[in-house]
């Protein structure tokens, strides 16, 4: 029998406790321990049971407890103080450098398929989502005028449990949004916001929910509405659930629906930031809107939209880049292309590396790259890998000139530094370390922390981790129906004084979770050493469809369960932000051994670093740029070699792993002086905080995005929109003219004047004749392209030396002259290049046009 009507009944808070709702509905509690501790103080067990969800928590606190708290003067004083603190945080003015041209509007809309802002908002799967959550948190702390756009999944990402034979199983809880720190977003007229769009020829509606992430508003779309068809209701059911068609629906909703949501909410951000290719359709929708509402031709609309678009690619692994077959795209986008006035074949070309290849699938990162003027990878190495990976999109350019830069990821220290370590930082770094944008100044003061205090705090966190692991393992064994003897032994697993090495991440095969266990003889030798004990803690999830990743996990867990290993090696089920927080703060060493160069960044190691945990990793992702050859901030597995044989790579790096572990890491950890403190180890901990802290904070990351992408994109976008988009029309007409004329441009008669013997620093004069094909000289950039070359005469590195026009033009020809000089001894070569330039074009490489001598 079903109820006729259903009501949401909330507790009746005494007036003195009303501020509880205010602090519960802003996710600032996720990185401000003063706020979180108020709820934990009321009922620690209920707080843990709530997954640190203050709304659910308040709704489950007995009314009698609330009445009692209303009479507790000390509690009320703490509550009022927390409410004032939140008010002060939210009321800080936007710094002038971040200010919006329109104070009532955000500058940036940040699109992402997942966000990891809090344990109680489970719409994340791993590093991509956690990075997005940290981006919003730092944007909030720095007061950058930014909003987030994502999807609200009714079942989130899966919760993990293991069968008795160690095979991963998935369960999907149903989340009640009204029991979460969420509210329905409202239109400017005060109505609940709903977005309407078409998926192919079928209507789709989505409710818009709002989560307040400090000062940042995160808007999340939900399709579980009565007016939607049953299959469309499931679009926002699960993160990364369903088949390829479901993924396409989700990305249509995120990109096209996200842009529509902003309009329904009355928001007009000038810049969009597409976090991974999932949201690339946002660029298309902005173009369509400009064509419809501003009557712009397609080319001008592309220039306007792309000038204000940033795209961040996160994966060098092909499986991580969504591709859709042409027939599936035709089913859902042929009417959309027609509405834009595009032939469908031309539409498909926007998402193809080789536009003329009718067999090629439609690739979302390619679409994002073509519709953005600012593109980046997430570490220096990943930027280089991405330039190689997407070279076909700009096939005329040298790889090093492919317009994909890099902004290395960072993590949000207040979210990931454990509370005892936070107290230490408050004392020696100053209490404003959480929000201070001067990260160099903040982390340089880590040198002031006394070694004994740093070591005692870290040892306490290791002991806390061991307690946490024991409780989790006991619960896992009970759930699997284990013997009582095994459950009792779990209470003594691990050693709170032993060197503890953590490995926790997605169980993708390239991350090589099984590398350590490929040499069980060495592994057993390490963990059986009674004088210098070592223990390992593992955690992570495999994608439900990744059978290879699940097999790696099964092999690892099976080994951990064997009698000779199980007291020193454990696997924690259901890896989430809570498990991660305990591990990154309580381990001594963070192990990461992906197969280079397939790790885009690897932010889990950064979280550990901010807690004083030392790194031991292959030179991939962020560690490739952070590691120092003297090992002063951590250790490397190998020297960054590139391999063609993955089996040989595994063999070599496995031997290196155990050699460094046994000869360097373990002896140094147990090299104790007076007071049983490892002086060299703590010195290395502090050196890592001082040198790496400023570089890998998400505050630095967001400021880098602002300086190198957001601010230039805003200037470019404003310039193109001036005078009713006249500059955009001019730029698009110039571009079409250049595309027509460029094939006729020629470079010939290149000469060089130099000494017979060329020395470092000698000036060489280069001249060339160029047929300009009617292109104005101010729109030509002509350069000497010179540098060291290998035995095959290919450039190993290069520099550009400008050439200037000399003499009079005749019959369309113009002579150019410039000077170049070698900076180092060795084989030196040169050629001449010409590229089109325009003052309204932020990056001359974005056109992909170049002519060589």
- pLDDT digits 0-9 by tens, 157-214: 999 999 999 999 999 999 999 999 999 999 999 999 999 999 999 999 999 999 999 9
| pLDDT confidence of residue 843 | 87
Q: Is the pLDDT of residue 256 over 90?
A: yes
CA 836 to chain centre: 33
The β-bridge relationship of strands 202-213 and 194-199 is antiparallel
| pLDDT confidence of residue 438 | 86
CB distance 780 to 737 below 8 Å: no
Higher-pLDDT residue of 95, 219: 219
Radius of gyration of the chain (CA): 29
Nearest partner of 614 among 640, 588, 583, judged by Cα: 588
Q: How far apart are CA 752 and CA 819, in angstroms?
A: 9
* 3-class DSSP assignment, residue 50: coil
| pLDDT confidence of residue 1 | 67
Q: Stretch 474-491: mean pLDDT, rounded?
A: 91
| pLDDT confidence of residue 826 | 87
| pLDDT confidence of residue 245 | 97
CB distance 372 to 306 below 8 Å: yes
Where does the pLDDT of residue 6 fall: very low under 50, low under 70, confident under 90, or very high at 90 and above? Answer: low
CB distance 348 to 268 below 8 Å: no
| pLDDT confidence of residue 443 | 95
Alpha-carbon distances of 647 from 318, 595, 653, 658, 849, rounded to whole Å:
20, 11, 10, 17, 40
Q: How far apart are CA 637 and CA 734, in angstroms?
A: 51
* 3-class DSSP assignment, residue 272: strand
Give yes or no for a cis peptide into 597 (omega within 30° of 0). Answer: yes
Higher-pLDDT residue of 675, 53: 53
| pLDDT confidence of residue 743 | 93
| pLDDT confidence of residue 9 | 66
The β-bridge relationship of strands 499-504 and 634-637 is unpaired
Would you put residue 129 in left (φ > 0), alpha (ψ -120 to 50) or beta?
Answer: alpha
| Numbers of helices and strands, H then E, in the chain | 31, 27
pLDDT digits (tens, 9 = 90+) for 75-89: 999 999 999 999 999
Residue tagged 């963070």 (tokens): 590
* 3-class DSSP assignment, residue 12: coil
Higher-pLDDT residue of 132, 761: 132
Q: How far apart are CA 738 and CA 733, in angstroms?
A: 9
Alpha-carbon distances of 706 from 140, 297, 369, 386, 606, rounded to whole Å:
13, 30, 19, 21, 21
Nearest partner of 175 among 98, 212, 120, 214, judged by Cα: 120
**Cβ neighbours of residue 734 closer than 8 Å, sequence gap 6 or more:** 779, 838
Q: Is the pLDDT of residue 682 over 90?
A: yes
DSSP class of residue 662 equals I
CB distance 238 to 172 below 8 Å: yes
Q: Which helix (H) or strand (E) holds 548?
A: helix 547-560
Q: How far apart are CA 282 and CA 279, in angstroms?
A: 6
Q: How far apart are CA 203 and CA 547, in angstroms?
A: 36
Q: pTM for the full model?
A: 0.96
* 3-class DSSP assignment, residue 490: helix
Alpha-carbon distances of 262 from 124, 218, 282, 477, 645, rounded to whole Å:
22, 11, 11, 48, 49
Nearest partner of 240 among 325, 171, 158, judged by Cα: 158
Where does the pLDDT of residue 473 fall: very low under 50, low under 70, confident under 90, or very high at 90 and above? Answer: very high
CB distance 751 to 769 below 8 Å: no
Alpha-carbon distances of 496 from 468, 571, 615, rounded to whole Å:
11, 17, 20
CB distance 701 to 135 below 8 Å: yes
Q: Read off φ and ψ for residue 94, nearest 5 degrees.
A: -70, 130
Q: How far apart are CA 404 and CA 691, in angstroms?
A: 27
**Cβ neighbours of residue 309 closer than 8 Å, sequence gap 6 or more:** 271, 272, 273, 274, 283, 286, 371, 372, 373, 374, 713
Q: Is the pLDDT of residue 327 over 80?
A: yes
DSSP class of residue 496 equals T
Q: Is the pLDDT of residue 352 over 70?
A: yes
Residue tagged 């003027």 (tokens): 373
Q: Stretch 516-531: mean pLDDT, rounded?
A: 95
Q: How far apart are CA 64 and CA 74, in angstroms?
A: 18
Neighbours of 545 (CB within 10 A): 10
What does 217-270 look like in DSSP terms, one character per residue? EEEEEE---TTS-HHHHGGGTSTT-S-HHHHHHHHHIIIIIHHHHHHHTT---S
| pLDDT confidence of residue 11 | 76
Alpha-carbon distances of 432 from 68, 85, 435, 586, rounded to whole Å:
35, 14, 6, 24
**Cβ neighbours of residue 688 closer than 8 Å, sequence gap 6 or more:** 609, 612, 614, 615, 633, 634
Buried b (16+ CB within 10 A) or exposed e, 77-87: eebeebbeebe
CA 550 to chain centre: 24
Q: What is the mean pLDDT of the chain?
A: 94
Nearest partner of 216 among 149, 123, 293, judged by Cα: 149
Q: How far apart are CA 435 and CA 703, in angstroms?
A: 12
CB distance 274 to 311 below 8 Å: yes
What does 451-466 look like in DSSP terms, one character per residue? HHHHHHHHHHHHHHHH
**Half-sphere exposure (Cβ direction) of 37: Cα atoms closer than 13 Å:** 8
Alpha-carbon distances of 212 from 146, 222, 525, rounded to whole Å:
12, 17, 51
Q: How far apart are CA 674 and CA 329, in angstroms?
A: 69
Q: Read off φ and ψ for residue 487, nearest 5 degrees.
A: -65, -40
Q: How far apart are CA 750 and CA 853, in angstroms?
A: 7
Beta bridge partners of 799: 786
Would you put residue 508 in left (φ > 0), alpha (ψ -120 to 50) or beta?
Answer: beta
Q: Read off φ and ψ for residue 251, nearest 5 degrees.
A: -75, -30
Token readout for 421 is: 């370590």
**Cβ neighbours of residue 774 closer than 8 Å, sequence gap 6 or more:** 741, 812
Residue tagged 């099976």 (tokens): 558
Q: How far apart are CA 471 and CA 462, in angstroms?
A: 14
Where does the pLDDT of residue 319 fall: very low under 50, low under 70, confident under 90, or very high at 90 and above? Answer: confident
**Half-sphere exposure (Cβ direction) of 226: Cα atoms closer than 13 Å:** 0
Q: Stretch 242-271: mean pLDDT, rounded?
A: 97
Where does the pLDDT of residue 793 fall: very low under 50, low under 70, confident under 90, or very high at 90 and above? Answer: confident
User: Which segments of 580-632 are extended strands (E)?
Assistant: 589-592, 614-618
Counting residues of the chain whose pLDDT is more than 70, the rounded percentage is 99
Q: How far apart are CA 191 and CA 187, in angstroms?
A: 5
Beta bridge partners of 199: 202
Q: Is the pLDDT of residue 796 over 90?
A: no
Q: How far apart are CA 302 and CA 287, in angstroms?
A: 6
Sign of CA dihedral 391, 397, 401, 403: negative
Neighbours of 226 (CB within 10 A): 6
pLDDT digits (tens, 9 = 90+) for 305-315: 999 999 999 98
CB distance 121 to 50 below 8 Å: no
């Amino acid at each position: 029998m079903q109820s006729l009507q259903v009501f949401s009944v909330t507790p009746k808070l005494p007036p003195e406790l009303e501020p509880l709702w205010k602090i519960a509905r802003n996710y600032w509690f996720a990185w401000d321990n003063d706020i979180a501790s108020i709820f934990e103080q009321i009922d620690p067990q209920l707080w843990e049971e709530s997954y640190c969800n203050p709304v659910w928590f308040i709704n489950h606190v007995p009314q009698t407890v609330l009445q009692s708290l209303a009479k507790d003067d000390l509690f009320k004083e703490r509550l009022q103080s927390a409410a004032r603190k939140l008010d002060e945080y939210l009321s800080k003015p936007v710094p002038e450098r971040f200010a919006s041209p329109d104070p009532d509007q955000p500058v940036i809309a940040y699109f992402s398929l997942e966000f990891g802002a809090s344990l109680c908002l489970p719409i994340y799967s791993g590093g991509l989502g956690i990075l997005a959550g940290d981006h919003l948190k730092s944007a909030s702390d720095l007061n950058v005028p930014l909003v987030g756009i994502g999807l609200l999944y009714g079942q989130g990402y899966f919760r993990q449990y293991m069968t008795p034979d160690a095979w991963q199983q998935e369960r999907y809880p149903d989340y009640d949004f009204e029991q979460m720190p969420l509210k329905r977003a409202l239109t400017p007229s005060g109505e609940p916001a709903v977005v309407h769009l078409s998926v192919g020829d079928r209507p789709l509606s989505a409710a818009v929910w709002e989560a307040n992430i400090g000062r940042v508003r995160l808007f999340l779309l939900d399709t579980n509405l009565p007016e939607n068809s049953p299959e469309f209701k499931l679009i926002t059911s699960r993160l990364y659930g369903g088949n390829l068609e479901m993924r396409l629906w989700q990305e249509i909703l995120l990109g096209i629906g996200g842009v529509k949501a902003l309009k329904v909410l009355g928001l007009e951000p000038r810049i969009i930031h597409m976090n991974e290719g999932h949201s690339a359709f946002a660029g298309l929708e902005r173009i369509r809107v400009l064509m419809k509402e501003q009557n712009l031709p397609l080319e001008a609309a592309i220039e306007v939209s792309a000038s204000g678009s940033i795209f961040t690619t996160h994966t060098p692994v092909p499986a991580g880049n969504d591709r859709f077959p042409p027939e599936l795209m035709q089913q859902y986008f042929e009417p959309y292309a027609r509405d834009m006035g595009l032939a469908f074949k031309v539409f498909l070309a926007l998402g193809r590396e080789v536009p003329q290849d009718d067999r090629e699938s439609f690739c979302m990162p390619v679409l994002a790259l073509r519709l953005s003027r600012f593109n980046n990878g997430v570490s220096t190495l990943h930027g280089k890998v991405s330039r190689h990976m997407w070279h076909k999109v700009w096939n005329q350019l040298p790889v090093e000139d492919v317009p994909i830069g890099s902004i290395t990821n960072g993590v949000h220290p207040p979210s990931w530094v454990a509370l005892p370590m936070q107290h230490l930082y408050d004392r020696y770094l100053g209490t404003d370390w959480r929000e201070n944008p001067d990260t160099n100044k903040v982390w340089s003061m880590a040198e002031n922390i006394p070694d004994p205090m740093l070591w005692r705090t870290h040892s306490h966190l290791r002991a806390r981790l061991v307690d946490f692991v024991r409780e989790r393992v006991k619960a896992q064994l009970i759930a699997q129906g284990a013997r009582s003897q095994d459950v009792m032994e779990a209470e003594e697993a691990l050693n709170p004084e032993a060197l503890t090495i953590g490995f926790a991440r997605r169980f993708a095969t390239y991350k090589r979770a099984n590398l350590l266990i490929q040499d069980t003889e060495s592994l057993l030798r390490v963990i059986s050493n009674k004088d210098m004990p070592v223990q390992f803690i593992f955690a992570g999830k495999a994608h439900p469809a990744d059978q290879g990743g699940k097999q790696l996990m099964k092999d690892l867990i099976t080994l951990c369960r064997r009698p000779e290993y199980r007291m020193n090696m454990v696997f924690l089920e259901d890896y989430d932000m809570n498990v991660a927080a305990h591990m990154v703060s309580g381990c001594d060493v963070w192990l990461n051994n992906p197969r280079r160069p397939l790790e885009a960044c690897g932010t889990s190691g950064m979280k550990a670093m901010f807690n004083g945990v030392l790194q031991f990793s292959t030179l991939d992702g962020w560690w490739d740029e952070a590691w120092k050859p003297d090992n002063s901030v951590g250790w490397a597995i190998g020297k960054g070699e590139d391999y063609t044989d993955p089996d040989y790579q595994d063999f070599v790096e496995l031997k290196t792993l155990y050699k460094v572990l046994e000869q360097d890491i373990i002896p140094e950890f147990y090299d104790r002086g007076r007071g049983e403190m490892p002086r060299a180890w703590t010195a290395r901990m502090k050196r890592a905080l001082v040198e790496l802290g400023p570089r890998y904070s998400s505050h630095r990351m967001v400021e880098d995005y602002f300086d190198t992408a957001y601010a230039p994109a805003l200037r470019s976008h404003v310039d193109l929109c001036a005078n009713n988009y006249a500059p955009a029309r001019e730029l698009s007409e110039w571009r079409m003219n250049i595309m027509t004329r460029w094939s006729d441009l020629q470079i010939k008669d290149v000469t060089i004047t130099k000494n017979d013997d060329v020395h470092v620093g000698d000036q060489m004069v280069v001249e060339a004749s160029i047929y300009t094909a009617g292109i104005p000289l101010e729109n030509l950039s002509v350069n000497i392209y010179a540098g060291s070359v290998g035995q095959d005469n290919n450039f190993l590195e290069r520099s550009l030396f400008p050439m200037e026009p000399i003499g009079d033009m005749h019959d369309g020809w113009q002579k150019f002259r410039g000077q170049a000089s070698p900076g180092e001894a060795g084989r030196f070569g040169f050629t001449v290049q010409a590229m089109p330039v325009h003052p309204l074009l932020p990056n001359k490489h974005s056109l992909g046009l170049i002519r060589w001598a």
